[in-house]
Chain A
């Protein structure tokens, strides 16, 4: 590779090509054969997952066509050996071509994963570079690309044919390397010292390496971009992007989810294997996480004999409600965890989630609390009816009509793949509005549970591997913060809450507090909300105090505690359900309806960048609180430290403030990385002119490959740019010769001479309508002059030269052009 730099003997590297050329023509077919073998290996690997064999063959034929055409052209017209001038243009175009073809094929429903497409691009590059064996650099790059292709092909596909071809490639590569080695030894010209002169400086290489190290340290040491950029952007990369040709991920691959073919059967998930397996429920997970609920020892009391019809026979099946009546005890005991590694489970995940994380996925709600146990009151009869809506080709079932609440904002969608979760309830993000399963268009599949959660009521559980698309709404709480939202409750219909209502229109259950707890809760809640206006700010004040002043610990609240809330407040620490219970009761004491929600917390830390999805494990079972702000509108709050409340849809001012806070958090969390980045930025900023000059010189060097005229024009543009950047911009009315001839006055003689030569040639190029063709000698002289000018009139030289007076170019101020006594 050569540029406008000069070699040690003073010759411009851009003019002398000989040291870069291969000395023997025997490499003409060797490199190309190497690339063809690599192509064959890759094609064999691709064919395993590509069902359209003819298209694959056609693509391979196309990839070979241009290289073969070049070989034929060279044999028929040896004079066209100079076609390498177009190499710089040909290689990028030929490498981009597969992407264009892929776009066409995808419009026909045929396609490949992006990583394979990238390999095909590299394959094209290796083939086209293999056609230019006279360039040693082309040979080397072609062989390197071929080796990479073979390596990748062996990794992605273990077929005998692939191994065979890879072995052939290895043998040929060995021969090729030996041949190149002996060639270089025999080449007398290889002894010539050639200065490698890429158009970049050491500062640029150093900066690039530093930036790479910094990025690697930030992203590598901290567990990924999701963690580092938390708060700055959605923590999940999911965001509804879906590639049907991807080779892994949620919702991809028709064979993975049989429901795509038959919505009623759900394919393999109802196989015996799965039916017989012991999969955990949500309560198994709670038991694993928090321990088992404590059951008071039943005392043997005196009893009387009952009549025969009231006797319950042990073999008679007792009716059991599956939809409600489940309880959540806040007193538990630590047990040795069973089934930490469940058998017959391919994946430890309960769910896979694609979409914004962290996110709460609720499964069950509780409204009644008796001091120890949470339970729920059936209120399914007041819940709204489902509506069905076709959007595109998808059938969405709406559990709530969007736009009912004034705090609703943007809609968001999650894709949830059920793996080991055994329930018919839909893992619902906060304020769920609609659900969709591919090809499922029957509304009677869906319904509400008695505690007000959406569920697939037609089944006992959602089949494994089913992909649920759930749509929910974000909210903006600014309005709630500014007004007391509880004022409108007395006017609101109590139907929206469900159940019996208080005199204010509130349902009793959501405001119920055990009598024994009221005095203490009243004291605490008043102390925490003193001076805070009534409304959402009081809710936030309670949550803030809980998150700041209390510590989360895994140890469950035992029976010795007696009262979980009192124990928690006294001890200052507790598990998540203690936080949630305390927050719910304290807010109830303040007059805000609350309910406890049990479900999962999809953590951003579990986001898998390769798969593009977040795993939700059994350890992610979580309990939190929702506050009722309107009839049927529940807003999630997160009182437990270490968990993030659902992201609020912010206005631009709020967003800016949030960014600022996130930036401060990031700075506090990664001070050295931030400091390093700042130093790097300052260094980059201070050396920006060098960077930009290096890029401009790269463009100039590239333009010089396309002939003398382009070289001259590129030189003019480069000098004009340098003049502007160095504060010596040529005034528009000043001609080139006036400007540069004056600047060249302070240059060394040889540079000054080169500037004069460059100016003469530039003027002829720009203003002479009849230009005679240049001889090779003239072209060489022009190239030399351009190189010398670009080297001599550099940024520092231009900065040091004094600016010309304003009158330049208008006559009498030009001492060498028009004397003052002419007029």
Chain B
């Protein structure tokens, strides 16, 4: 065996070991979250994809469906610092980012870090905060830093915002601005559990358990592992045809008659990253059009704005209007048969 062959086989072996380690970490994470949220494995998959894509998550659902529980479980499972902000109309930006306090002893101002200085931030009922307060998260979510009194503070590399909002109660609520929505990677709904899962929950309550599968009491991966996972996902190759497919879809969002605000370039990048994460969760090292389509609804729903009631229907129309690149036949355009 020559030296180059030895190096090549060594690289292959290292890559296999890394992939194996990543898969183990993901499986542990998946198992922990599925133990908390019963019967919602697909939602868990989306949450994991969002986490690996370094995106932020917006839960748009009714109260009592497990949003906060899931957010806390994520925070514990990834082994980072968890912070929770209950958004109310009187919440100030400094309550989120932090503020300077004058120390009488040292006769100097000291910076008191806000909840953003954590690994997982749960912004509960985010639409109840005023737009001014909501805007305090712009810089933190987009650039993972905050600037206070001309001083910039870096946040955690794995900073992850999980926001929730109640779609039903609009009294005293402030809709999230488009700029804020564009900083979320996806919007998810958990939905009601099925009957079997609810029976399982009731039985667990009688038995005295807090949750059926128990709470996530300790971290299953550490922040360093999470950063490696995220880095690995970011570096996953995407073929030219899939990128062209993504661009065609993005252009379709901008050309749709009912969409006033199409997909932004930032949104397009986020979409590709979420598709990469989804491919990784499926155990692949390349992205398929299936991945792009699979995450299209949560990714597009959060950021498409226009005169429509059913955003999901618009997303479906957009996806259906763009042919999937398959072999050479699609270069001639779709066939009408």
Query: Are B335 and A766 within 8 A (Cβ)?
Result: no
Interface residues of B in 287-337 (CB under 8 A from A): 287-290, 293-294, 296-298, 301, 312, 315-316, 319-330, 333-335, 337
**Is A768 a contact partner of B327 (Cβ separation < 8 A)?**
no
Q: A716-B327, A736-B326 are in contact. Are A817 and B287 (CB under 8 A)?
A: no
Assess whether B240 is in contact with A769, with CB atoms less than 8 Å apart.
Answer: yes
> Cβ of B323 and Cβ of A822 under 8 Å apart?
no
Query: Once the chains bind, are B293 and A809 in contact (CB under 8 Å)?
Result: yes
- CB-CB under 8 A from B323, the residues of chain A are 732-733
Q: Tell me the bound Cα distance from A730 to B241 in angstroms.
A: 19
Chain A residues with CB below 8 A from B237, complex form? 768-770
Contact between B239 and A733 (Cβ–Cβ < 8 Å)? no
A745 within 8 A of partner (CB): no
A720, A732, A733, A770: the one contacting B327 at CB < 8 Å is A720
Alpha-carbon distance between A768 and B285 when the two chains are bound, in angstroms: 8
Which of B38-46, B96-104, B151-159, B265-273 lies at the interface with chain A?
Answer: B38-46
Q: Which residues of A contact B204 (CB under 8 A)?
A: none
Is residue B201 within 8 Å, beta carbon to beta carbon, of the partner chain? no
Q: Is B120 at the interface (CB under 8 A from chain A)?
A: no
Contacts of B172 in A (CB 8 A): none
Nearest-CB distance from A661 to chain B (Å)?
Answer: 40
Which of A713, A724, A811 touches B296 (beta carbons < 8 Å)?
Answer: A811
Closest residue of chain A to B330, judged by CB?
Answer: A732
Is residue A734 contacting chain B, with contact meaning CB distance below 8 A? Answer: yes
A822 near B42 (CB under 8 angstroms)?
Answer: yes
B286 beta carbon closer than 8 Å to chain A: yes
* Interface pair A821/B191, CB less than 8 Å apart: yes
Please judge, given known A-B contacts A767-B239, A767-B241, whether A822 and B322 are in contact too, CB under 8 Å.
Answer: no
When C-beta atoms are compared, the residue in chain B nearest to A737 turns out to be B290
Question: Are B289 and A810 interface neighbours, CB within 8 A?
Answer: no
Give which listed residue, A716, A729, A764, A767, contacts B337 with CB less than 8 A. Answer: A729
Given A716-B326, A766-B326, A810-B293, decide whether A732 and B240 contact each other with a Cβ distance below 8 A.
no
How distant is the Cα of A817 from the Cα of B289 in the complex, in angstroms?
13
Task: Answer yes or no: B189 CB below 8 A from chain A CBs.
Answer: yes
In the assembly, what is the distance between CA of A734 and CA of B285, in Å? 21
Range class of the B interface residue count: 35 or more
Beta-carbon contact of B324 and A733 below 8 Å: yes
> Are A823 and B189 touching (Cβ within 8 A)?
yes
Tell me the smallest distance from the CB of B85 to a CB of chain A, in Å. Answer: 26
Known contacts A729-B337, A768-B286: does B324 contact A817 (CB below 8 Å)?
Answer: no
Closest to B40 in A: A821
Residues of A with C-beta under 8 A to B335: 724, 729, 732
**Within 8 Å of chain A (Cβ to Cβ): is B238?**
yes
Q: Is B242 an interface residue (CB 8 A)?
A: yes
Known pairs A766-B241, A818-B42, A823-B312; A733 contacts B329 (CB<8 A): no
A19 vs chain B, min Cβ distance (A): 33
Q: Is residue A738 contacting chain B, with contact meaning CB distance below 8 A?
A: yes
Known contacts A811-B297, A817-B290; A734 and B43 CB within 8 A of each other: no
The answer to whether A442 has its CB under 8 Å from any CB of chain B is no
Task: Specify which chain B residues have a CB less than 8 angstroms from the CB of A51 in the assembled complex.
Answer: none
| A763 is an interface residue with CB less than 8 A from chain B | yes
A731, A763, A817, A821: residue with the most chain B Cβ atoms closer than 10 Å: A821
Q: Are A763 and B288 in contact (CB under 8 A)?
A: yes
**Which of B298, B301, B316, B329 is in CB contact (< 8 Å) with A807?**
B316
B228-245, CB < 8 A from A: 237-242
Chain B nearest CB: distance from A716 CB in Å?
5
Q: How close is B97's CB to chain A, nearest CB, in angstroms?
A: 32
Specify which chain A residues have a CB less than 8 angstroms from the CB of B40 in the assembled complex.
821
- How far is the CB of A96 from the nearest CB of chain B, in Å? 26
Give Cα A812–Cα B329 distance, bound, in whole angstroms. Answer: 27
Residue B319 contacts which of A730, A764, A809 (CB distance < 8 angstroms)? A809
Chain A neighbourhood of B328, CB < 8 A? 713, 717
- Asked if B188 is at the interface (CB within 8 A of a chain A CB), the reply is yes
Contacts of B191 in A (CB 8 A): 821-823
Binding site for B on A (CB under 8 A): 713, 716-717, 720, 724, 729-738, 763-764, 766-770, 807, 809-812, 817-819, 821-823
Nearest 3 pairs of A and B residues by beta carbon = A732-B334, A732-B323, A768-B286
21 contacts between A and B (CB under 8 A): A713-B327, A713-B328, A717-B329, A720-B329, A729-B335, A729-B337, A733-B323, A735-B289, A766-B239, A768-B239, A768-B286, A769-B237, A769-B286, A807-B316, A809-B320, A812-B297, A817-B294, A822-B42, A822-B297, A823-B189, A823-B312
